[in-house]
Chain A
């Protein structure tokens, strides 16, 4: 077991964004985390990435408690992430962006550059090597975030709505990239709002609703689960189905 979320709750003032959530991620799998707007996906995601500390509960990575380790500590251990709203280093080139990630594993500039070029090639962004991040197209910006995260040499990659806003062709390329990343031995947790993109890709799915785990299981079972249908489409649809 790579990651274990154990009874995590997160309170923001009067709002209970996550309520006693427990789940596990097995090494080598792609786990999908879905749910309607406001289900608490991003909150849970941020807690796993170390960006926020849960109010209660524990998060274990490879058996080690990382609950209060912080974002950079989690990165050192091998948890890399992307952001829902793209956060690149805008004044730096694509290569330089990726090098920042690569420096997490080395102090040598030559070594960081070698690693970054490798990732650049792997993510198919070589032609954009010298382009400032600010000048990339939106799908390229998302791809750069993934590349940067990969350069840190992660064991677990957290992808936060990386397919959002992509055209079907771009999404297809994105799906292929995620498959390639998994094939390279990286475990993946994907948060996605759009179910169609996620379902064919993931091995397992956790559905959140109103801050709690609604159901968990194989994609095929999830889409037919009555609670999921209700959460996404409302009572009326369920009644007529």
Chain B
């Protein structure tokens, strides 16, 4: 075997080109999409889809790249919603500033929560995140200063980007959530090719080997948790402005935690496009079943999640993105190189 380098771009470079190109195409489509859709109901679904794309991408930083499965991300979402809303209602801080604070507070909480939790690994970590999110949910439910179970109405101060309030049209929210999703996509795109991205994937794949190469497991996980919570918190404050009313049940409940991680699981954990693809399938499906089947069929959307997850787990364990080859990530199992996952060899 001659020890010469194969010519041309390596797998990673080719993957990044495909990703960048597909990112531009999708962004262009999403920029003009709502202009052709006047229906409020459909626009609302689009907004929610973008929001869950963003949230799931944020979750993916910790759960996907770093492999630390959190089932309590509603905590950071809720903290974000409460921080910006409380700053607005109690101290008059405009939500545009408040959401930055929301991100930082959520990141700080993530560090405090993760400090003990990262002593646990695997399933134990996941369970701990559920428990802590549930505790904070109960705290907020019984804490009068933050509105308790009654929640807080976000007062209307006129339409503007500074107060991030729009009553008449939902279109600004669409572009706000598109912006958030795009920022998270770019952040993920950057992460995948950065030292942190490599370290996180190494921590996920084989922590002991990672350590032997100088990777600090605890520090790496903490950074991933903080980054993930930061963006989730910002997502929470966006949503609070969007619905203009927050309470623990809508901002911190356990089902929300599941909804944050499901798009990534469905689309492809630890992939760039996984959360977006997953959300594009899951959220419209959920909303449509919820509104058409409605009252007597409540819970149908939950059955749907279950079916989808089972289908993906059996048919496409690496997620829906495995169908498209955009990410070209390699399957975790020792699969043949020419398998359907799209893992490619240099010619």
Which A residues are closer than 8 A to B by beta carbons? 49, 51, 70-72, 75-76, 80-81, 83, 87-93, 95-96, 99-101, 103-104, 107, 109, 112, 117, 120-121, 124, 126-127, 129-132, 134-135, 148-149, 151-152
What is the minimal beta-carbon distance from B119 to any residue of chain A, in angstroms?
15
Instruction: Please tell me if the beta carbons of A90 and B206 are within 8 angstroms of each other in the complex.
Output: yes
What is the minimal beta-carbon distance from B212 to any residue of chain A, in angstroms?
5
Instruction: Please tell me if the beta carbons of A87 and B208 are within 8 angstroms of each other in the complex.
Output: yes
When A71-B211, A101-B213 are in contact, do A124 and B1 touch as well, CB less than 8 Å? yes
When A91-B205, A103-B198 are in contact, do A152 and B343 touch as well, CB less than 8 Å? no
Instruction: Please tell me if the beta carbons of B346 and A130 are within 8 angstroms of each other in the complex.
Output: yes
Task: Tell me, in angstroms, the Cα distance from A112 to B193 when the chains sit together.
Answer: 11
Instruction: Please tell me if the beta carbons of B214 and A75 are within 8 angstroms of each other in the complex.
Output: yes
CB-based closest 4 A-B pairs: A75-B214, A130-B11, A104-B214, A89-B205
Given contacts A81-B212, A109-B193, A129-B6, could you give 17 more A-B pairs where the C-beta distance is less than 8 Å? A87-B206, A87-B209, A88-B206, A89-B201, A89-B206, A90-B206, A91-B332, A93-B330, A96-B201, A100-B215, A104-B214, A112-B198, A121-B3, A121-B5, A127-B1, A129-B346, A134-B335
Residue of A nearest to B330 (CB): A132
Task: Tell me, in angstroms, the Cα distance from A71 to B214 when the chains sit together.
Answer: 7
Report if B210 contacts A (CB, 8 A): yes
Task: Tell me, in angstroms, the Cα distance from A220 to B3 when the chains sit together.
Answer: 35
A-B contact pairs, 9 of them (CB 8 A): A51-B208, A72-B216, A83-B212, A87-B212, A88-B209, A109-B194, A130-B10, A134-B332, A135-B337
Task: Tell me, in angstroms, the Cα distance from A93 to B1 when the chains sit together.
Answer: 19
Max chain A Cβ within 10 angstroms of own Cβ: one of B5, B198, B215, B217: B198
- Pick the residue among A93, A109, A149 that contacts B195 (CB under 8 A): A109
Instruction: Please tell me if the beta carbons of A93 and B11 are within 8 angstroms of each other in the complex.
Output: yes
Instruction: Please tell me if the beta carbons of A135 and B1 are within 8 angstroms of each other in the complex.
Output: no
Report if B334 contacts A (CB, 8 A): yes
When A127-B1, A130-B10, A130-B344 are in contact, do A92 and B212 touch as well, CB less than 8 Å? no
Instruction: Please tell me if the beta carbons of A152 and B214 are within 8 angstroms of each other in the complex.
Output: yes
Q: Mark contacts of B105-130 with chain A using CB atoms, 8 A cut-off: 1 yes-contact digit, 0 otherwise.
A: 00000000000000000000000000
- Pick the residue among A75, A76, A81, A99 that contacts B198 (CB under 8 A): A99
When A109-B195, A134-B334 are in contact, do A91 and B209 touch as well, CB less than 8 Å? no
Which B residues are closer than 8 A to A by beta carbons? 1-6, 10-12, 193-195, 198-199, 201-202, 205-206, 208-217, 329-337, 343-346
Task: Tell me, in angstroms, the Cα distance from A88 to B216 when the chains sit together.
Answer: 17
What is the minimal beta-carbon distance from B330 to any residue of chain A, in angstroms?
4
Instruction: Report chain B residues within 8 Å CB of A131.
Output: 337, 345-346
Task: Tell me, in angstroms, the Cα distance from A71 to B211 when the chains sit together.
Answer: 6
Residue of A nearest to B5 (CB): A126
Max chain B Cβ within 10 angstroms of own Cβ: one of A51, A88, A90, A117: A90
Instruction: Please tell me if the beta carbons of B213 and A100 are within 8 angstroms of each other in the complex.
Output: yes
What is the minimal beta-carbon distance from B220 to any residue of chain A, in angstroms?
10
Task: Tell me, in angstroms, the Cα distance from A126 to B6 when the chains sit together.
Answer: 7
Task: Tell me, in angstroms, the Cα distance from A104 to B211 when the chains sit together.
Answer: 11
Residue of B nearest to A158 (CB): B212
Instruction: Report chain A residues within 8 Å CB of B5.
Output: 117, 120-121, 126, 129
Instruction: Report chain B residues within 8 Å CB of A135.
Output: 334-337
Instruction: Report chain B residues within 8 Å CB of A152.
Output: 213-214
Instruction: Report chain A residues within 8 Å CB of B6.
Output: 126-127, 129-130
Task: Tell me, in angstroms, the Cα distance from A127 to B10 when the chains sit together.
Answer: 11
Instruction: Please tell me if the beta carbons of B209 and A83 are within 8 angstroms of each other in the complex.
Output: yes
Task: Tell me, in angstroms, the Cα distance from A132 to B212 when the chains sit together.
Answer: 20
Instruction: Please tell me if the beta carbons of B195 and A90 are within 8 angstroms of each other in the complex.
Output: no
What is the minimal beta-carbon distance from B13 to any residue of chain A, in angstroms?
9
What is the minimal beta-carbon distance from B169 to any residue of chain A, in angstroms?
42
Max chain A Cβ within 10 angstroms of own Cβ: one of B195, B201, B214, B217: B214
Residue of A nearest to B332 (CB): A91
Instruction: Please tell me if the beta carbons of B330 and A134 are within 8 angstroms of each other in the complex.
Output: yes
Residue of A nearest to B9 (CB): A130
Instruction: Report chain A residues within 8 Å CB of B201.
Output: 89, 91-92, 96, 100
Residue of B nearest to A101 (CB): B213
Task: Tell me, in angstroms, the Cα distance from A107 to B345 when the chains sit together.
Answer: 27
Task: Tell me, in angstroms, the Cα distance from A104 to B214 when the chains sit together.
Answer: 6
Instruction: Report chain A residues within 8 Å CB of B208.
Output: 51, 71, 83, 87
Instruction: Please tell me if the beta carbons of A80 and B212 are within 8 angstroms of each other in the complex.
Output: yes
Residue of A nearest to B11 (CB): A130
Instruction: Report chain A residues within 8 Å CB of B209.
Output: 83, 87-89, 148
Task: Tell me, in angstroms, the Cα distance from A109 to B189 when the chains sit together.
Answer: 13
When A89-B205, A117-B5, A126-B4 are in contact, do A75 and B213 touch as well, CB less than 8 Å? yes
Instruction: Report chain A residues within 8 Å CB of B343.
Output: 132
What is the minimal beta-carbon distance from B203 to any residue of chain A, in angstroms?
10
What is the minimal beta-carbon distance from B91 to any residue of chain A, in angstroms?
39
Instruction: Please tell me if the beta carbons of B205 and A92 are within 8 angstroms of each other in the complex.
Output: yes
Task: Tell me, in angstroms, the Cα distance from A113 to B344 when the chains sit together.
Answer: 19
Instruction: Report chain B residues within 8 Å CB of A87.
Output: 206, 208-209, 212
Instruction: Report chain B residues within 8 Å CB of A117.
Output: 5
Instruction: Please tell me if the beta carbons of A134 and B333 are within 8 angstroms of each other in the complex.
Output: yes
Instruction: Report chain B residues within 8 Å CB of A83.
Output: 208-209, 212
Instruction: Please tell me if the beta carbons of B195 and A132 are within 8 angstroms of each other in the complex.
Output: no
Instruction: Please tell me if the beta carbons of A95 and B212 are within 8 angstroms of each other in the complex.
Output: no
What is the minimal beta-carbon distance from B125 to any residue of chain A, in angstroms?
20
Task: Tell me, in angstroms, the Cα distance from A152 to B329 when the chains sit together.
Answer: 25
